């Protein structure tokens, strides 16, 4: 640098004749580039540290998986970096907030993969805030019955609820106040003030009475709630039965109209009924003992009729079918005869008649008799039994055949094995 020297009261510039390079240990080029390079490197290091801090804060070096949440609105203070919580603990952050084509808010979440396995795929999602003016966060809440399948990467969920904000309240309040006429509101408040003026004790007593009434009514709330729960079912049943109920009402209306129109005839019928009742009372009262005796005498007959009711039913049904049968094409009587082989004749004393059958007659399988069927044969204890064990059945060399050919033969009857015996 030039040196200034004072000469005779004035400054004069003097130039140092020595070159810079003449200083020992220094070179002109190295000294001119050293400081700028060091400064540039310092700036790069500082910028790198800042960028690394910003990237670390934004989670650039943290492995995450995306999850999308759709909501009607994102709310105020919902920006990138907002917290994503599960039961109050942070598990990720909001990586992006955009708007869909239909005006809904799309929130892209960056969730820790290890924490993603803890969230069921039917979890509830809501956008909440710790305070009224606080920043928003996305919160996952497991349902009462969580699913066994965990939330997967890339899944799209719908937000169930967004916290009400102050601006929303102010907007709603402003919309309400815009429809209120101040003079009318003032008149209404004045009327309310006049109505309650001097009636504080009565109002307090009314509140006390209402409190006592609610305390009395509170034990019945469970039954009242059950009634309300059953009301839809009952209402549905009445709705289903409404056409039938209306039909009953219409029929009742017609019946009442008919009774009104036929009232004189109904009166005459009632008078006649009363007269007949009086006459019947006289007849039954005077003949009470003979009628009681007659009823006692009819008891055996009715019991016997009850026991043989199946036979009577079969007989009447057969007579009915016979009456309805068309007549024969040719008048006359047809007699069909047939010869059958003889069976074992009665033996003494096993074939003596007995009256030991019980149960009454049977008509099962007889009427109507189906084609190619035979009614069951009922065997009762009446003495003789042609199908009992030991009967010879059809005898080719029977006594009846010999007597028919040769006349009466002495001696007891014999069976087919008695060849050459007398008789």
Per-10-residue mean pLDDT for the chain, 423 residues long? Answer: 45 45 48 78 85 70 80 72 83 84 84 82 80 75 82 80 65 76 82 81 86 84 85 88 90 89 88 88 84 89 86 84 81 78 72 79 72 77 74 61 70 51 44
List the beta bridge partners of residue 422. none
Residue 94 near residue 148 (C-beta atoms within 8 A): no
Asked whether residue 206 is assigned to any structural domain, the reply reads yes
Asked whether residue 151 is assigned to any structural domain, the reply reads yes
Is 142 found in the same domain as 78? yes
Q: Is 127 exposed, middle or buried (0-12, 13-18, 19+ CB in 10 A)?
A: buried
Residue 143 near residue 99 (C-beta atoms within 8 A): no
SS3 state at 274: helix
Is 128 found in the same domain as 101? yes
Is 70 found in the same domain as 36? no
Asked whether residue 165 is assigned to any structural domain, the reply reads yes
Is 82 found in the same domain as 55? no
What are residue 243's phi and psi, to 5 degrees? -60, -40
Is 222 found in the same domain as 269? no
What is the total residue count of the chain? 423
Is 266 found in the same domain as 254? no
Picking from 117, 148, 170, the residue at the C-terminal end of a domain is 170
Residues sharing a CB contact under 8 Å with residue 31, sequence separation 6 or more, in sequence order: 20
CB atoms within 10 A of CB 362: 14
Is 162 found in the same domain as 74? yes
Q: Among the residues of 288-383, which ranges form H helices? A: 288-307, 309-324
Asked whether residue 334 is assigned to any structural domain, the reply reads no
Is 80 found in the same domain as 156? yes
Is 94 found in the same domain as 53? no
Is 94 found in the same domain as 146? yes
Name the residue range of residue 214's domain. 201-259
Asked whether residue 73 is assigned to any structural domain, the reply reads yes
Q: How far is CA 406 from CA 54, 324, 340, 399, 402, in A?
A: 142, 51, 20, 10, 6
Asked whether residue 347 is assigned to any structural domain, the reply reads no
Number of domains in the chain: 4
Asked whether residue 181 is assigned to any structural domain, the reply reads no
Query: What is the predicted pLDDT for the residue at 2?
Result: 45
Whole-model pTM: value is 0.32
Asked whether residue 4 is assigned to any structural domain, the reply reads no
């Amino acid at each position: 640098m030039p040196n200034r020297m004072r000469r005779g009261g004035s400054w004069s510039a003097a130039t140092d004749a020595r070159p810079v390079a003449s200083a020992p240990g220094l070179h002109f080029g190295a000294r001119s580039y050293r400081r700028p390079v060091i400064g540039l490197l310092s700036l790069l290091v500082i910028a790198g540290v800042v960028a690394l801090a910003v990237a670390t804060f934004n989670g650039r070096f943290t492995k995450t998986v995306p999850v999308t949440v759709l909501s009607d609105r994102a709310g105020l203070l919902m920006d990138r970096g907002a917290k994503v919580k599960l039961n109050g603990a942070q598990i990720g952050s909001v990586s992006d907030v955009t708007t869909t084509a239909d005006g809904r808010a799309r929130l892209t979440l960056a969730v820790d993969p290890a924490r993603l396995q803890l969230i069921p795929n039917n979890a509830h999602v809501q956008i909440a805030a710790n305070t009224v003016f606080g920043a928003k966060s996305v919160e996952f809440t497991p349902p009462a019955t969580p699913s066994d399948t965990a939330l997967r990467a890339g899944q799209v969920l719908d937000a169930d609820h967004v916290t009400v904000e102050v601006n929303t309240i102010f907007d709603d309040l402003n919309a309400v106040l815009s429809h209120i006429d101040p003079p009318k509101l003032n008149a209404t408040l004045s009327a309310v003030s006049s109505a309650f003026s001097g009636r504080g004790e009565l109002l307090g007593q009314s509140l006390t009475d209402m409190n006592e009434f609610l305390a009395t009514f509170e034990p019945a709330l469970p039954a009242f709630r059950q009634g309300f729960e059953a009301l839809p079912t009952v209402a549905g049943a009445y709705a289903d039965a409404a056409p039938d109920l209306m039909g009953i009402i219409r029929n009742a209306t017609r019946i009442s109209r008919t009774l009104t129109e036929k009232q004189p005839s109904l009166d005459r019928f009632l008078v006649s009924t009363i007269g007949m009742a009086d006459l019947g009372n006289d007849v039954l009262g005077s003949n009470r003992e003979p009628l009681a005796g007659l009823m006692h005498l009819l008891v055996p007959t009715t019991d016997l009729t009850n026991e043989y009711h199946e036979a009577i039913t079969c007989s009447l049904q057969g007579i009915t079918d016979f009456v309805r049968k068309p007549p024969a094409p040719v008048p006359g009587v047809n007699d069909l005869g047939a010869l059958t082989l003889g069976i074992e004749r009665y033996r003494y004393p096993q074939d003596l008649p007995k009256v030991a059958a019980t149960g009454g007659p049977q008509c099962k399988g007889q009427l109507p008799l189906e084609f190619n069927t035979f009614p069951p044969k009922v065997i009762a204890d009446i003495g003789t039994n042609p199908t009992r064990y030991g009967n010879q059945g059809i005898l080719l060399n029977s006594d009846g055949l010999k007597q028919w050919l040769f006349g009466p033969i002495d001696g007891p009857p014999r069976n087919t094995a008695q060849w050459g015996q007398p008789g």
